[in-house]
Amino acid sequence: MSATTSLKLPDALKATIAQVAALEGKTSHALMVETLQSAMEDALARQQLFAEAEASYQDTLHSNAVYGAADVKAYVLARVAGDKPRRPQVKPLDVAKPLTPAHD
């Protein structure tokens, strides 16, 4: 089911939409609908990512267990090289310690 919605667009944006639609062989309406649909899918995916990240963070706070980034990096690089390294050791989370990057 479709619903009619009215948008007031700045003249420059309206001209850009018309130009892009023409280049893509679409109507301005079709381009706007596709663009809005894509933006909403992206927004929902972003919100899902945020929710999963927050759940993971809360789980980390609850378990109080983390891995050192440098230890994980060394482990992964050793595995990729074909070695059989020991798994990194779990460390207690120190919330007072600032986060450091895992890269060089």
Is the pLDDT score of 36 beyond 80? yes
Reported confidence tier of residue 43, pLDDT bands at 50, 70, 90: very high
Domain count, the chain: 2
Is the pLDDT score of 46 beyond 70? yes
19 and 50 co-located in one domain: yes
Residue with token string 């700045």: 10
Reported confidence tier of residue 17, pLDDT bands at 50, 70, 90: very high
* CA 35 from centre of chain: 19
Residue 102, in any domain of the structure: no
Q: What are phi and psi of 41, to 5 degrees?
A: -65, -40
The larger pLDDT score, comparing residue 58 to residue 22, is at 22
Distance, CA of 61 to CA of 93 (rounded, Å): 8
Q: Are 87 and 75 in contact (CB under 8 A)?
A: yes
Structural domain harbouring 19:
12-55
Residue 101, in any domain of the structure: no
Give residue 18's identity as a one-letter amino acid code: A
Cβ partners under 8 Å of residue 87, min gap 6: 75
Reported confidence tier of residue 103, pLDDT bands at 50, 70, 90: low
